[in-house]
């Protein structure tokens, strides 16, 4: 008689039936964490799958779990719930506060803000008298969010076209080129937490090109991307942004916290074309050993 495979306890410990539909903060956090665990494992398994048949079964289990959790839509919905003001609000609050501190909220003309990786269409609705926000996402969840790959924006049209660009939890989320464009939600999920270092660097370069002189770039990252990466730390990131032509204006994180926020300003005198990128920024440079994550940015 053929052996029946015992159904495993979910790797994430997250039950698909109870959590994927709930909007309780604990549940959404658990589902998001669950997704991250599964996606990482899925991406790792996909790398070795070719010659190891037993891994195929493991991968199938993981893909089933991802599907049971509701796929990308569920993940994005949960992240959007996490952004709600009743949950402490999204990172846009920090950007708005910094802009107000700089007295930038009384402009002659509304500030044009490009919000990359928007899960909600109305994050800047309260500031509509001084901010004209354009939310975009690879996989739009709302008719008012333009479905658009930032990396494929028309260069000519967007060059020096934006006063502010927001990359909140996007640099750590850039899918591999193959999975961008015509992706199924599942193949997209597979690479969601394994950022492609070159595209992350390209995103920062494009942000520079797309901002007006003196324009601001807001970056939010999971703290561990800088505090516990093999290839990146606070100093390295600051040097890299300097090289790109950005001056740091604000930085916020706290010990034991989960996030780090930056506000950079495009230097007007910087001439990217003539800058030679030092070697250490154009390849992965190991900064520290041990049990670390692999988040990196390559210019």
Ligand X SMILES: C[S@@+](CC[C@H](N)C(=O)[O-])C[C@H]1O[C@@H](n2cnc3c(N)ncnc32)[C@H](O)[C@@H]1O
Give binding residues for S-adenosyl-L-methionine as ranges. Answer: 117, 137
Considering only the stretches 145-153, 223-231, 246-254, 275-283, report the one whose residues sit in contact with ligand X under the rule CB under 6 A. Answer: 145-153
Q: Which stretch binds ligand X (CB under 6 A): 49-57, 130-138, 225-233, 272-280?
A: 130-138
Token pair listed for 22: 């709930």
Instruction: Dig out the tokens for 218 from the structure.
Output: 């807001």
Does residue number 215 form part of the binding site for ligand X (CB under 6 A)?
Answer: no
CB of 256 to ligand X, least distance (A): 20
CA–chain centroid gap for 5, Å, is 37
The distance of closest approach from Cβ of residue 126 to ligand X in the complex, given in angstroms and rounded to an integer, is 17
Q: How far from the centroid of its chain's Cα atoms is residue 97's Cα?
A: 21
Q: Which of 99, 174, 225, 241 binds ligand X (CB under 6 A)?
A: 174
Query: What is the number of alpha carbons within 13 Å of residue 20 lying toward its C-beta?
Result: 20
Residue 149 contacts ligand X per CB under 6 A = yes
Q: Which of 117, 121, 201, 222 binds ligand X (CB under 6 A)?
A: 117
Q: Should residue 134 be labelled a site residue for ligand X when binding is judged by CB under 6 A? A: no
- Determine, following the binding rule CB under 6 A, whether residue 241 of this chain makes contact with ligand X: no
225 binds ligand X (CB under 6 A): no
Output helix, strand, coil percentages for the chain, rounded to the nearest 5. Answer: 45, 15, 40
Piece of 62-70, 83-91, 126-134, 287-295 that binds ligand X (CB under 6 A): 83-91
Neighbours of 82 (CB within 10 A): 18
Query: How far is the CA of 92 from the CAs of 82, 95, 125, 169, 177, in angstroms?
Result: 13, 5, 11, 11, 27
By CB under 6 A, is residue 137 in contact with ligand X?
A: yes
Q: Computed from CA positions of residues 244, 247, 249, 250, in that sequence, does the dihedral angle turn out positive or negative?
A: positive
Parallel, antiparallel, or unpaired for β 211-222 and 131-137?
A: unpaired
Residues in 152-171 at the binding interface with ligand X, rule: CB under 6 A:
168-170
34, 90, 222, 245: which one binds ligand X (CB under 6 A): 90
Residue 10 structure tokens: 């979910």
Residues 238, 242, 245, 249: is their CA dihedral positive or negative? positive
Out of 43, 104, 146, 151, the residue judged to bind ligand X by CB under 6 A: 151
> Minimum distance between the CB of residue 214 and ligand X, rounded to whole angstroms?
24
Copy the structure tokens of residue 269: 């005198």
58: contact with ligand X by CB under 6 A = no
Residue from 78, 96, 99, 116 touching ligand X (CB under 6 A): that is 116
Q: Is 162 helix (H, G, I), strand (E, B) or coil?
A: strand
Binding site for ligand X (CB under 6 A): 76, 79, 83, 90-91, 116-117, 119, 136-139, 149-151, 168-170, 173-174, 220
């Amino acid at each position: 008689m053929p052996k029946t495979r015992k159904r495993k306890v979910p790797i994430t410990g997250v039950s698909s039936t109870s959590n994927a539909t709930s909007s309780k903060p604990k549940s959404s956090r658990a589902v998001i964490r669950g997704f991250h665990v599964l996606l990482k494992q899925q991406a790792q398994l996909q790398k070795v799958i070719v010659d190891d048949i037993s891994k195929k079964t493991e991968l199938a289990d993981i893909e089933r779990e991802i599907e049971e959790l509701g796929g990308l839509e569920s993940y994005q919905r949960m992240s959007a719930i996490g952004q709600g003001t009743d949950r402490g609000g999204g990172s846009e609050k920090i950007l708005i506060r910094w802009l107000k501190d700089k007295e930038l909220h009384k402009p002659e003309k509304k500030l044009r803000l490009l919000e990359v990786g928007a899960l909600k269409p109305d994050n800047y609705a309260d500031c509509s008298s001084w901010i004209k926000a354009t939310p975009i996402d690879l996989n739009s969840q709302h008719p008012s969010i333009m479905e658009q790959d930032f990396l494929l924006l028309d260069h000519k049209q967007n060059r020096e076209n934006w006063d502010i660009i927001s990359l909140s939890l996007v640099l750590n989320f850039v899918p591999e080129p193959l999975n961008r464009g015509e992706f199924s939600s599942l193949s997209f999920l597979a690479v969601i937490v394994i950022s492609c270092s070159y595209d992350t660097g390209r995103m920062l370069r494009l942000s520079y090109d797309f901002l007006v002189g003196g324009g601001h770039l807001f970056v939010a990252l999971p703290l561990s991307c800088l505090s516990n990466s093999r290839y990146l730390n606070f100093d390295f990131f600051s040097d890299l942004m300097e090289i790109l032509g950005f001056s740091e204006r604000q930085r916020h994180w706290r010990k034991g916290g989960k996030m780090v926020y930056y506000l950079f300003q495009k230097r007007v005198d910087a001439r990217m074309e003539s800058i030679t990128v030092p070697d250490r920024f154009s390849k992965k440079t190991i900064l520290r050993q041990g049990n670390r994550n692999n988040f990196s940015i390559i210019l």
